[in-house]
Amino acid sequence: MSQRKDRSIIKALSRGARLRCPVCGGASVFQTPFRVRPECPACGAVFQREEGFFVGAIMINVVTTEAAVLATAGLWLLSSAGGGAALLPILFAVALLFPVAFYHHAWSLWLAGDHLVEGLPRRRPGA
């Protein structure tokens, strides 16, 4: 129970947005640009969980991309630039580029959310 008191929403989401360990903030979640570390080298929090765990990260990326596409369309239509012919290629570009740009944050925020809900398990050498 005392572990639950250590979980602050602001801290965990802030660390997730900065791609840091949601538990301690001491290390990056990513080992290489497209590879999640198995665990945090600073506190031992396990980042690579069971098979299928990161389907939620994909869902966050898809939903956020849809929101970005809708926001872009709304802003385009509300602005005076609103020529309809240019809108579709712009939305297509947003739909292609946004998920690539948001990839790391989706994974990191999913980890932070899991830490807030359940708490990430810890793995210590020799423990």
- Name which position in 7, 13, 14, 24 contacts Zn ion (CB under 5 A): 24
- Dihedral of CA atoms 50, 122, 23, 60 in degrees, nearest 10, equals 0
Measured from the CB atom, the residue of 6 and 66 that comes closer to Zn ion is 6
- What is d(CA 107, CA 30) in angstroms, rounded to the nearest whole number? 9
Q: Contact region for Zn ion (CB under 5 A) — 3-11, 41-49, 69-77, 110-118?
A: 41-49
The contacts of residue 20 (CB under 8 Å, 6+ apart) are: 26, 27, 28, 29, 108
- What is d(CA 94, CA 88) in angstroms, rounded to the nearest whole number? 10
Count residues near Zn ion (CB under 5 A).
Answer: 8
- The full length of the chain comes to 127
- Residue 42 CB, nearest approach to Zn ion (Å): 4
Q: Contact region for Zn ion (CB under 5 A) — 10-18, 30-38, 44-52, 104-112?
A: 44-52
* Residue type, position 17, single letter: A
Q: Applying CB under 5 A, does 23 fall inside the site for Zn ion?
A: yes
Q: Applying CB under 5 A, does 120 fall inside the site for Zn ion?
A: no
| Token output for 59 | 């869902």
Measured from the CB atom, the residue of 46 and 91 that comes closer to Zn ion is 46
Binding site residues, Zn ion, CB under 5 A: 21, 23-24, 26, 40, 42-43, 45
